[in-house]
Copies of this chain bind each other. A is one copy, B any other.
Amino acid sequence: MEIMTNSEENYIKGIYHLSQGGQHSIATSALAEKMDTKPSSVTDMIKRLSEKELLHYKKYQGVRLTEKGTAQALRVIRKHRLWEVFLVDKLGFAWDEVHDIAEQLEHIESEMLVDRLDALLNFPDFDPHGDPIPDKNGRFKTREKKLLSAMLPGSSGICVGVKDSSSQFLKFLDKHQIELGKPIEILELESFDRSMHIKIGDRKLQISHQIAANLYVKPKPE
C-alpha cells in the first residue's frame, strides 16, 4: 500500500468510476469534468500517478488503471461506503446527507480501523445508496436483482411490504412518506445503482436503492 495524498486518491477513484461506464480508456477532458478541474491539471496529475504505476498512460491516449490502481480505488471506495453505513446506521443521518462527510472519512488511513468498522457494522454488503461495498479483497456481492427488476418503470399498481421491520427503518419510510400496502407506480430508474423515482398516489419521490432492497413487491390487493 502506497502512500497517497487525498487528491491522488480522489483522481484514482474518479477514474475507477468513469471506467465503470465500460470505456477502455478515460479521456483527459472527461476526467477533468469529473474532478471539476482543468484538463491541464489532469495531465499533470496523471503523469504523477503514471510514475507511481497506478495507471497506464500514453500521451493523447487517455488513461486506464493498473491492477495496483484498481486495488487502491477499491480500498477507498470500501472506506467511503463503510463510513456511509456508519453515518446512517450509527449516527442516524439520512442517506442523502452522508456523501460529503464520507468523502472526507474515506481518506483516513488505518487498515485496522476499516476492518473493525466493518465488523461494528456487521459486514454490510451495500451502502445506504444501494451501492455494493467491496470486501477486504476488493470483491463485490452482486445484489439479487429480483426485487427491483419486478419494479421496472411502468409497472404500476404494484404494492410494497417490508423486509426490514426495525423501528429505525419504519421511521425512515414514514419520513419519506412511503406507506405499506399502498399501490405504487415506478416512474423512472435513474441509474440502476443510484436511485429511482416512484409515484405513490399523487406524490412523486426519489428513493434509494437500499430502501428499495428492503421493500418487497406484493400483488395489488383486490
Contacts and interface: CB of A to CB of B under 8 A. Distances in A.
Interface of A: 87, 90-93, 100-101, 104-105, 108-110, 112-113, 116-117, 120
Contacts of A113: 87, 91, 101
Contacts of A117: 91
B101 A108 contact: yes
A83 to B, nearest CB: 10
A104 B108 contact: yes
B101 A116 contact: no
Nearest to A104: B108
A172 to B, nearest CB: 15
Contacts of A112: 93
Contacts of A105: 105, 108
A99 B134 CA distance: 27
Contact of A92 (B93, B101, B116): B116
A164 to B, nearest CB: 20
Contacts of A91: 113, 116-117, 120
List the 6 closest A-B pairs by CB distance, nearest first.
A91-B116, A104-B108, A101-B110, A101-B113, A90-B120, A91-B120
Q: Looking at A92, A110, A120, which has the most chain B CB atoms within 10 Å of its CB?
A: A110
A110 B99 CA distance: 12
Nearest to A91: B116
Nearest to A97: B112
